[in-house]
Amino acid sequence: MGMSAKMGDSANIPGVFFADFGPAPPEITPEGYHEVELNKTKWVLPQWYNSLRPLGEGAYGVVTAEYEPTGDRVAIKKFFRPFQSTIHAKRTYRELKLLRTLQHDNVLEMIDVFTPDPDATSLNNVYFVSVLMGSDLQNILKIQRLTDEQIQLLIYQVLRGLKYIHSAGIIHRDLKPSNIAVNERCEVKILDFGLARAQDTEMTGYVATRWYRAPEIMLNWMHYTQTVDVWSVGCILAELVSGRPLFPGDDHIDQLTKIMSVVGTPKEDFWSKIQSEEARNYIKNRPPIVRQDFGALFPMASPYAIELLEMMLILDPDERISVSSALRHDYLREYSVPNDEPVAMDTVATDPAEEQATTLADWRELIWNEIRLFQNSARRLSFVSCTDNEEEPMKL
């Protein structure tokens, strides 16, 4: 069956519409653009982006390019089939909107966004440009073990970025090593806001890569809080100190089993917070498990790292440490600068237009407007090189 409007009926997903991949790309390259084929993918870019090179697959970009006016190399991400369905379009819109709105040292900075398509009706190709970071924690963990000092600095920056994100009323919901970009100067930027949401909206259960997903998400809590991101940071910290994922579950049930085998079965007052009767019965019927000794579980970790892990990896989110408190923890004392942890000036409210969009045409219009808003802003192509710091930074 072709990917047509009929697929939406056959897929039987309420409120989700599938289509073909949108209007065909323009046969003639638009004026001011040039076409490059790389990794069997066609890239249609403004002429000032040259010398494309593969960067790898995943959340952080696909190619690097030289920005001709300055000679700086940047990362360019081409959204993969952004209008394959309304779900894909919604994630593309959220990411563009948040990257346009959020401005912080530890959050990926969008320095350009463009499309070669002439109008909203024909919109099918969306690209955004960011500073080039070079790697991410997932790739770094494959090739080297980090020192305790490096881990402290990395986790401090992740939490510093989260403090800003949370102050804007946003929950990231998809923190994992591949979404933490790192450069050779050990500087961190949080990536990939396609699953992020304003906190005042009802939440859905399927978010985040399973291994780093907070238990309350899998237990179908409809109004979980910013501490879901703290759990994810705890999983990342555990992986940094041990060199391996802490909860590599094969499915939801296996994931919960692995989590409880480490943190123990919850207290009875926790059960009433679980809305899913099936999940509640599953936990009640399991034999009691005592929380593991984190010192024995992480023998290579420092006492302060173990203490912070114990405070992050608590099953009940109401008892889990907050980002602000984690930033003040003794484990991060060496890098803590409380007067240099900026927060957002305003919260990012739930977008009424996003809630009202129902068709791919609606999403094309919204994304087209986001592109135009950014292109008319002062931020476009105004990034500052980070090489002018006076102090010599730690290197990986």
Q: How many CB atoms lie within 10 A of CB 86?
A: 21
Question: Among 2, 159, 139, which Cα is nearest to 59's?
Answer: 139
- Burial class from Cβ neighbours inside 10 Å (0-12, 13-18, 19+) for residue 278 reads exposed
Q: Which two tokens stand for residue 110?
A: 């969008």
Of 192, 269, 318, 362, which residue is the catalytic one? Answer: 192
- Burial class from Cβ neighbours inside 10 Å (0-12, 13-18, 19+) for residue 187 reads buried
Sign of CA dihedral 243, 247, 249, 254: positive
Q: How many CB atoms lie within 10 A of CB 219?
A: 23
Cβ proximity of 243 and 141 under 8 Å: yes
CA dihedral 354, 224, 313, 161 (to 10 degrees): 40
Q: Is 192 a catalytic residue?
A: yes
DSSP-derived letter for residue 386 is G
Q: Which two tokens stand for residue 121?
A: 């009706």
Q: Which two tokens stand for residue 223?
A: 């109004």
| Catalytic residue IDs | 192
